[in-house]
Amino acid sequence: MTDQNIRLGIGLMVLTTLIFAVQDGISRHLAAEYNVFMVVMIRYWFFAAFVVAIAARKAGGLRAAATTAQPVMQGFRALLLVAEICVMITGFTLLGLVESHAVFACYPLLVAALSGPVLGERVGWRRWAAIAVGFVGVVIILEPGFGVFQPAAVVPFIAALMFALYGLLTRFVARRDTAATSFFWTGTVGALATTAVGAWFWEPMSGPDWAWMGALCITGAAGHFTLIKCYEVAEASAVQPFAYLQLVFSGAIGLLVFAETIRLNVALGAALIVAAGLFTLWRQRVAR
């Protein structure tokens, strides 16, 4: 892998995190006005169309993309991601972008912690120590011992746990299926599931918000496209640390657009989580 590829991969990862941060900001706006299930349903319609279009252009077409030896696991993965998106967007409306992403940033630590029981991978004591430090950061953000504890603060942590499990299951199915197959199942099953639920919560949408919905769909497809390209040109271990920039970009949108604030405990907790996560990624690279 050349230095040029690494630089291009890092650039694409930074662009991806910026696109996803914008997507989160639009999701926060729309979910404050309309039902979360409807917002996610329309987003998935566009995502499924994007997935099908990509699959149709690949060798073997749709049949090859849909073929899997583990349909139950692929279907469960897709449903888990749908549920995680709904939970996370709900977190945006309850807590805002800053605090939601500060807690959600712990998901790489959850991946490391669960990689043993789920994938049978070995986690050394250094990574366990980093995981413990990261969860101290989560506790600092949640403030369970100060005043009245807000149950809503747990919502982004539940989303992080679901996303970590989704990531591990994606690695599990990758042992027998291609990335194109996993991508196809994620989009199509997700669209069917969100339609089955979201159709019951349809609400009329204003003209300007349809424009925002269009922007949400476009950013969703664009973010996945740049992420795919990122992993095509560079190894995940080289670019993954830059995924934490989504916390920075989303926080900036929360501050500038939604007039959110950053409390000292949130900043301190997020710093611990990111530092622990970066150390964990570094140890994984060393272990390989």
For 10-57, how does the pLDDT look when each residue is reduced to its tens digit (9 = 90+)?
Answer: 889 889 999 999 999 999 999 999 999 999 999 999 999 999 998 888
Q: 20 is written with which tokens?
A: 């996803």
Q: Are 98 and 105 in contact, with CB atoms under 8 Å apart? A: no
pLDDT score recorded for residue 5: 79
Output the CA–CA distances (angstroms, integers) from residue 83 to 21, 108, 170, in the order listed. 19, 18, 16
For 98-120, how does the pLDDT look when each residue is reduced to its tens digit (9 = 90+)?
Answer: 999 988 988 888 888 888 787 77
- Enclosing domain of residue 246: 3-287
Q: 87 is written with which tokens?
A: 């939970």
Interval 80-96 mean pLDDT: 94
Output the CA–CA distances (angstroms, integers) from residue 156 to 50, 83, 110, 176, in the order listed. 27, 12, 13, 31
Looking at residue 32, what DSSP letter applies? H
pLDDT score recorded for residue 148: 46
pLDDT score recorded for residue 145: 53
What domain count does the chain have? 1
Question: Who has greater pLDDT, 260 or 152?
Answer: 260
Rounded CA separation 99/262 (Å): 8
Q: What is the mean pLDDT of the chain?
A: 87
Provide CB contacts within 8 A for 208, sequence distance 6+. none
- Would you say residue 140 has pLDDT above 60? yes
Q: Are 273 and 137 in contact, with CB atoms under 8 Å apart? A: yes
H or E segment and range at residue 49: helix 36-57
- Would you say residue 188 has pLDDT above 90? yes
pLDDT band at 174 (very low <50, low <70, confident <90, very high): confident
For 46-87, how does the pLDDT look when each residue is reduced to its tens digit (9 = 90+)?
Answer: 999 999 998 888 888 889 889 998 999 999 999 999 999 999
**Residue position matching structure tokens 């747990």:** 154
pLDDT band at 3 (very low <50, low <70, confident <90, very high): low
